[in-house]
Amino acid sequence: MNAIAAGTKLDETALRELEGAFRGQLIRPGDTTYDEHRKIWNGSIDRRPALIARCAGVADVIAAVRLARRTDLQVAVRSGGHSFPGLSVCDGGIVIDLGLMKGIRVDPEASTARAQAGALWGELDRETQAFGLATTGGIVTHTGIAGLTLGGGIGWLQRKHGLTIDQLLSVDLITAEGELVKASATENPDLFWGLRGGGGNFGIVTEFEFRLNPVVRSCSPDRSSGRSRSRRASCASTETGSPTRRTS
């Protein structure tokens, strides 16, 4: 354990109050799963938080934010853990891990999807592709939807449909005060403007609403390797009934 983590003392009274109402998992240094859950995609990042709060729902996120305010500890927020500079984890603070929050609801009639912030792009694609729909998402399936969306979002459909933020319709967000607010083009529009590409520090988004576009799955042979390459759902896609025209 490094000096920062070792020197951080949680308010035990505040922590006990959190434990009494928390539905997810609270992991501290010394717990058997601590090293597993502090690791992120970039293996060069080695940080040791004082607490990892693996939230099971919005109420858990609110409780974790309020604990951080009460104890004046730094907060890092983790969705898929793909932040290259390591913003998904911190030394001596609280990691609010949204990885357990993976709920996805697709409305094929409205061509929209609502997804909780712990979902990965492969998981969202699987649900939307059941209806022949997709949104601009990550190039690899194990990227978290939250970080990529809040950073702008590039993916296979961007040339036809723009960035992920161009398909974002609304969010549910927990503020630094621990309050739930909604943001869209008509509700808290300034906040919504900042979230669409501004990254973090506006709050913790717990759920996203995306516009979906009709696509068809494509599997094309990889001529260089001599084997069939199954691409991500939206990689080689065309709008239903209106194939993309290509010219040589």
pLDDT value at residue 57: 96
Q: How confident is the model at residue 230 (pLDDT cuts 50, 70, 90)?
A: very low
Most confidently predicted of 120-124, 200-204, 223-227: 120-124
**What's the confidence (pLDDT) of residue 232?**
45
Place of tokens 């090293």: 35
Nearest to 66 by CA among 37, 92, 96, 91: 96
Which are the contacts of 200, defined by CB distance < 8 A and separation ≥ 6? Answer: 77, 87, 150
Q: How many residues does the chain have?
A: 248
**Which candidate, 137, 134, 141, 142, places its Cα nearest to that of 113?**
134
Q: State the pLDDT confidence band at 100, using cuts at 50, 70 and 90.
A: very high
The identity of residue 101, as a single letter, is M
**Range among 6-10, 20-24, 209-213 rated most confident:** 209-213
Distance between CA 209 and CA 196 in Å, rounded? 12
Distance CA 125, CA 133 (A): 8
Structure tokens at 141: 């399936």
Rounded Cα gap, residues 143 and 84, in angstroms: 11
Residue that the structure tokens 């354990």 belong to: 1
How do residues 171-209 score in pLDDT, each as one tens digit? 999 999 999 999 999 999 999 999 987 766 789 999 999
pLDDT score, position 13: 80
More reliable by pLDDT, 10 or 129 = 129
pLDDT band at residue 233 under the 50/70/90 scheme: very low
- Is the pLDDT at 223 greater than 60? The verdict is no
Can you give the pLDDT at residue 42? 85
